Structure 1
């Protein structure tokens, strides 16, 4: 496990409304955990040829961008204090590109939080490049704040069929217990993996019952660990992404796993995780297999 369970909740700040939403969400989460909130503004230093006076060159740009980042942090602190007045808040301007800075922060964080799209994003994009990069590469659970969360709504979690998203289940159960809300566990099975010649003979109700029993077994250990959590299992045929997106309306948080490391270099997000990140109506937590619990 690479993240620090007693670490801060880290939020990326860039002066956008989306980042302020992330700071507010992170502040509320830090208050629930009883931990500190860390607000980080990343400034990517660039080199260029000054067109005016030498004094208005690289160092001047550095001062201006640093001052702007500090102002963004001040606005984020104010927004966070409105949500969690008693929360300990620290702030820092760090040099570097935002995905790189936040990846480094995630190594010692309990959670890293970003908005859907920063100041540099194109209008109309569903998800910004920083949000995608953080979701893919964070060493701890990452939350992309989007939509409108329902404070008393359930935690919705996707459950795969191969047992690789136990870390995501751990985060989902912990969030449900911390908030005292129900947990909705969604599992999808597919006819596409079956022999097409046998489909006419398939007893779908029997398969559905078998999948429901398997889901109950997957959740049994977590139910014993978190006896106070109200668990609601949902099994659907195909359409895991659609079911998770539909259930995100009225939810507090949707939790999905990632693929971990695939056949190409670097961590990957599966199609379900990508669809939920782009279309959910509430914040989405992405948990890599090695990220562990955000308890």
Structure 2
């Protein structure tokens, strides 16, 4: 079975932005685009406490609404990419299990994400968050600026256009302690297909070796050289495999999250890994990925691995 680039739609501006990004990715990979939506209605997580409940539309109306949404999205994407094969599918069931099922047959799953709401103070897009936490296929989260969200810099819109068209760097957040082949390969492949530079960021922390309140300079320099050497050793086989990809690697002191968020303003795509393991409560995503979900401007690809 031919895999597809699958995008989950809910009618929001973010999901439409995800469809645009997914269409471009499908053309880069020479794969069909599959637009899906779950048509079983889900009550809002924060419904008014009126005591009357939230009325649920009849199932035939729910399905008709899903079909209309898919038809509109297909027409919108098809107008700008006439040669692209576009399939649509309304899936019975609630959004999270429906999208996880759709992802099983996908090369990657693309979802809209609204990031962090400044007014509400919590992460919006609970469906995207829940799918990301459980999906075993690569997931790309795409943001779209909406009224009421924190204002982005004036140049963001131009950067977003460049990111879709592939004129910006691909950025990889690399963990030298547990480098994963699937994550690294995804980033190199994405940069190769876009013919852009791959920027690699590794965050590390200096040990607290102090003398008189100051770091020991010789030890500091030695550790910096060691980290750079380890970074070169990890990347060398991938540079041999992708000789046309220009690589810019940097080891930054401190957590990688802030540096990756900063890099996202000039990126076509930010790539990070997510280890498949359960947390004490819920499913583990990780602090770096959480920071990107909240604040990144560029699309974020999260690659799950063991």
Q: TM-score, normalised by structure 1?
A: 0.84
Residues 239/195 of structure 1: CA separation in 2 closer, same or farther (3 Å cut) = closer
Aligned to 1:156: 171
Do 1:24 and 1:83's aligned partners in 2 also have CA atoms closer than 8 Å?
A: no
Aligned to 1:64: 61
How many residue pairs match? The answer is 271
2:140 to 139, 143, 149: 143
Do 1:81 and 1:87's aligned partners in 2 also have CA atoms closer than 8 Å?
A: yes
Q: Distance in 1 between matches of 2:137 and 2:191?
A: 18
Aligned to 1:281: 297
2:91 to 72, 94, 98: 94
Please state whether the residue corresponding to 1:161 is helix, strand or coil.
coil
Do 2:113 and 2:141's aligned partners in 1 also have CA atoms closer than 8 Å?
A: yes
Deviation at 1:265, TM superposition (A): 7.2
The reply on whether 1:242 has 2:258 as its aligned counterpart is: yes
Aligned to 1:177: 192
Deviation at 1:65, TM superposition (A): 1.0
| Superposition pairs of residues 59-138 of structure 1, within 5 angstroms | 61-117=58-114, 126-138=123-135
CA RMSD of aligned residues (A): 2.5
Residues 19/263 of structure 1: CA separation in 2 closer, same or farther (3 Å cut) = closer
Residues 266/219 of structure 1: CA separation in 2 closer, same or farther (3 Å cut) = farther
Deviation at 1:126, TM superposition (A): 4.7
Please state whether the residue corresponding to 2:297 is helix, strand or coil.
coil
Q: Distance in 2 between matches of 1:220 and 1:127?
A: 39
Do 1:39 and 1:89's aligned partners in 2 also have CA atoms closer than 8 Å?
A: yes
Q: Is 19-28 or 158-167 further displaced after alignment?
A: 158-167
The reply on whether 1:190 has 2:205 as its aligned counterpart is: yes
Q: Distance in 1 between matches of 2:258 and 2:133?
A: 21
Deviation at 1:88, TM superposition (A): 0.6
Unaligned runs of at least 5 residues, structure 1: 48-56, 291-295
The reply on whether 1:16 has 2:31 as its aligned counterpart is: no
Please state whether the residue corresponding to 2:61 is helix, strand or coil.
helix
Q: Distance in 1 between matches of 2:41 and 2:173?
A: 39
Do 1:155 and 1:181's aligned partners in 2 also have CA atoms closer than 8 Å?
A: yes
Residues 71/281 of structure 1: CA separation in 2 closer, same or farther (3 Å cut) = same
Deviation at 1:204, TM superposition (A): 1.8
Do 1:27 and 1:83's aligned partners in 2 also have CA atoms closer than 8 Å?
A: no
CA deviations on 1:30-75 (whole Å, 9 max, x unpaired) are 011111011111022579xxxxxxxxx98x7111111111111111
Do 1:127 and 1:277's aligned partners in 2 also have CA atoms closer than 8 Å?
A: no
Do 1:164 and 1:289's aligned partners in 2 also have CA atoms closer than 8 Å?
A: no
Deviation at 1:163, TM superposition (A): 2.5
